[in-house]
Structure 1
Amino acid sequence: MPFTILLSSAGRRVSLLRSLRHAATAAGLDARVITCDLNWTAPAMHLADAGFIVPRCTDPGFAAEVTALCDSEHVDLVVPTIDTELPVWATLKPDLATMGTTVAVSSPEAIAVAGDKRLTNRHCAESAIPCPRQAPLADVQRDASGWRLPLIVKPAGGSSSVGLHRVTTWAALDAIPADPALVVEETAPGIEHTVDVFVDRDGYAHGPVVRRRLEVRAGEVSKAQVVRDDLLASLAVRTVEALPGAYGPMNVQIFSDGPRAAVIEINARFGGGCPLSFQAGGRHAEWLIREVARKEAPPAAPVIEYGLMMLRWDDEVFVRAD
């Protein structure tokens, strides 16, 4: 039977779908990539080998539906794509393993740290990893002594820059309604970078690829360049290896001005710009597939093509509505 990969919450992740196909081919496998999503209008559904409608990942029926899907389609590997579905897949992971299905997801503990910016900040501080000073919004509004403008205010559980504000005046800070879910951070130095890594079954991170963000659209990178920065690569490796039960594709967001760096976020999944890392030599999808299909270990020192850029544009898929 073909090696079957399920791309969950496929949405607009056509580049990731194509990368998984390419990775399976590079691994020498006869493979099929299927998708699931809550809506048939998700573009990736129509470019996969098969697409399946499932409930929203927060729906109580999601777990039973995707478990049945993995069983009926003989899924070998599940690749989750959005933060809100990670806890569900982490809970399902042990039972799916008994069916022969591997889920590329970290432990519930690691997902909790990555999914809450307060826990991320604490994890970094306790692991001696540089990170911005952070506090609850109410605390800073009550006493701003020692803080310097501009400041970043954002939801502790947000993603894709949703709800993020750059505050440049004390009046603007005081005008933000009290919300225990909001945190304040000092502005991190320099330019934002994203580091993609693959974490194997033993918790070791491989092949860090540092991407400098050049342009972001709707919270997702649209232009980026692979750069050599050994400091940021090592910081990302330390960050994910210190997580309890990290596994699979992960990325770490870091601001850096050269001599200084600060980790701001961890994503316990493939990042939006992962196709650039694949193309540059960080074959994380291929290593994941090889580990699951053949128990092969990643190469010790992959060759990375520094300077490679990714420039994204919109594309279309045309389907008939019945």
Structure 2
Amino acid sequence: MSVPMLRVLFTSAGRRVELTRCFRRAGKVLDVDIEVHACDLTPHLSAACLDADVSFAVPRCTTPDYVPRLLEYCRANGIDLLVPTIDTELEALAASREDFAAAGTLVHVSAPETIAIVRDKARTTEVLERAGVPVPRTAPIEAVRAAPDEWSWPLFAKPVGGSASRGIGVLEGPGDICALYDEPMLVQDLLEGPEYTINMYLDGEGHMLCAIPHERLSVRAGEVEKGRTLRDSRMIEIAEAIARTLPGAQGALCFQLIDDPCHGLRVFEINARFGGGYPLADHAGGRFAENLLRRVLGRAPVDPSDWRAGVTMVRYDAAHFLG
């Protein structure tokens, strides 16, 4: 009997080679062949595209041509599952989920309501705070400029819609606030202490199946390069609260928090996608990729709650050579 095949497309693939390999390994567990498709602006300069079975170029994800190009490709190539990898493509993909479903492609993305919340860091803080999730004190930078004496300096500034550590910085005092910014900015309490990522997986109905915290021992360009899993009931309870709070959240999400010695645990970031550190959770037994493939296959999800604490990931750079 022949082994079934699933075609999985990773968009904005960049250097997410290890993520694609998580899906290849999950396919072996399920006795399914995984054909990896990957796209990027310049696929010949993308490690994940070079490592894929098939790759192709796409326009920038913020242009009107992006989703139509992906839809065309999915229809023509029988793509079963589309996995986005960056925040800036989530809104357009969430709005087009039904179009992809009509083409036979499941898009791994939460509902537009969830994406609208997590793509706006000010709104994220407001929604979480109302739900009782611990967050740092937050305000638009204009409010801080108008009443600097109401804040304890230094503070942390970041774009309302930023990602990958773009535009972040520490404000030592009111004089560090620029007269004009290129985009809306917000300011938060400057948190100190160990930083953690919690990878979580929700089924198609929004029920959380698993949450796996890891300490971010070393970070490069906003992505963990050294990390270690741990079981912390406080962090898992926060994950459960976030899952209940976000309308239409599903699949893999992750959030970051800092355990500040003065403020305690404070959530400061949510990403409604596979995070850069997901391979650590996968190696520890998270099985998020497997459960997503199970969903495509119409199979029941597995319970990944027996994941292992104390698993350490140390990343290094590999190379692809052309010519």
Structure 2 unaligned segments of length 5 or more: list them: none
Q: Say whether residues 1:32 and 2:35 are aligned partners.
A: yes
Is the contact between residue 191 and residue 260 of structure 2 (CA under 8 Å) also seen in structure 1? no
Q: Indicate which of 217, 222, 241 corresponds to 1:219.
A: 222
Q: Indicate which of 179, 184, 188 corresponds to 1:181.
A: 184
Q: Which moved more, 1:236-245 or 1:156-165?
A: 236-245
Q: CA deviation at 1:55?
A: 1.3
Pair 298,189 (structure 1): closer, same or farther in 2 beyond 3 Å: farther
Is the contact between residue 23 and residue 34 of structure 2 (CA under 8 Å) also seen in structure 1? no
Q: Partner of 1:190 in structure 2?
A: 193
Q: Say whether residues 1:250 and 2:247 are aligned partners.
A: no
Tell me, in whole angstroms, the C-alpha distance in 1 between the residues paired with 2:223 and 2:233.
24
Tell me, in whole angstroms, the C-alpha distance in 2 between the residues paired with 1:78 and 1:135.
36
Alignment of 1:1-322 (within 5 A): 2-40=5-43, 41-173=45-177, 176-179=178-181, 181-257=184-260, 260-299=264-303, 302-320=305-323
Tell me, in whole angstroms, the C-alpha distance in 2 between the residues paired with 1:161 and 1:16.
20
Is the contact between residue 75 and residue 104 of structure 2 (CA under 8 Å) also seen in structure 1? no
SS where residue 95 of structure 1 aligns?
Answer: helix
Is the contact between residue 125 and residue 131 of structure 1 (CA under 8 Å) also seen in structure 2? yes
SS where residue 31 of structure 1 aligns?
Answer: strand
SS where residue 254 of structure 1 aligns?
Answer: strand
Q: CA deviation at 1:257?
A: 4.2
Tell me, in whole angstroms, the C-alpha distance in 2 between the residues paired with 1:282 and 1:303.
8
Q: Which amino acid aligns with 1:269?
A: R
Tell me, in whole angstroms, the C-alpha distance in 2 between the residues paired with 1:46 and 1:285.
21
Pair 111,122 (structure 1): closer, same or farther in 2 beyond 3 Å: same
Once the two structures are superposed, residues 85-135 of structure 1 have per-residue CA deviations (whole angstroms, 9 ceiling, x without a partner) of 111111221111122210100111111111111011011111111101111
Tell me, in whole angstroms, the C-alpha distance in 1 between the residues paired with 2:260 and 2:283.
26
Tell me, in whole angstroms, the C-alpha distance in 2 between the residues paired with 1:218 and 1:24.
30
Q: CA deviation at 1:53?
A: 1.2
Tell me, in whole angstroms, the C-alpha distance in 2 between the residues paired with 1:235 and 1:129.
6
Is the contact between residue 17 and residue 48 of structure 2 (CA under 8 Å) also seen in structure 1? yes
Q: CA deviation at 1:189?
A: 4.8
Q: Which amino acid aligns with 1:65?
A: R
Tell me, in whole angstroms, the C-alpha distance in 1 between the residues paired with 2:231 and 2:307.
9
Q: Which moved more, 1:129-138 or 1:249-258?
A: 249-258
- Considering only aligned residues, what root-mean-square deviation do their CA atoms show, in Å? 1.5
Q: Which amino acid aligns with 1:172?
A: D
Tell me, in whole angstroms, the C-alpha distance in 1 between the residues paired with 2:217 and 2:89.
28
Q: CA deviation at 1:237?
A: 2.3
TM-score by length of 1: 0.94
Tell me, in whole angstroms, the C-alpha distance in 2 between the residues paired with 1:152 and 1:181.
14
State how many pairs are aligned.
317
Q: CA deviation at 1:56?
A: 1.3
Is the contact between residue 91 and residue 112 of structure 2 (CA under 8 Å) also seen in structure 1? yes
TM-score by length of 2: 0.94
Percent identity for Structure 1 against Structure 2: 38
Q: Which amino acid aligns with 2:104?
A: G
